[in-house]
Amino acid sequence: GKQIAAALALGADGVNCGTRFCATQECNWPSSFKQRMVEASELDTVLMLRRLQNTCRVFRNKVAVEVEEIESKAGDDFDFGMVVQLVNGKRGREA
């Protein structure tokens, strides 16, 4: 709450709370996932798509690390098409 209030006091029009509200009792996500969210630190996550100015923080896993490596190696030549097959959600929907 304090960080949101500070951002608004400094003139922000809003703040991005990400998935923080998904850890609440009201959310119907599995308790095991919510507990993992609460216990995780930034070291358990990867920031992806930074070069596209569309940064997202995800749990560190094989796919997230692969995306991070592709983005890092491509540098300024990074394009979403290089990772779309990894981040489009198709694999998860088929699982």
How does 15-50 read in b/e, with b if 16+ C-beta sit within 10 Å?
A: eeeeeeeeeeeeeeeeeeeeeeeeeeeeeeebebbe
- Tens digits of per-residue pLDDT, 17-44? 877 788 888 999 999 999 998 899 989 9
* pLDDT at residue number 70: 96
Write down the pTM of the prediction: 0.70
For range 65-75, the mean pLDDT: 95
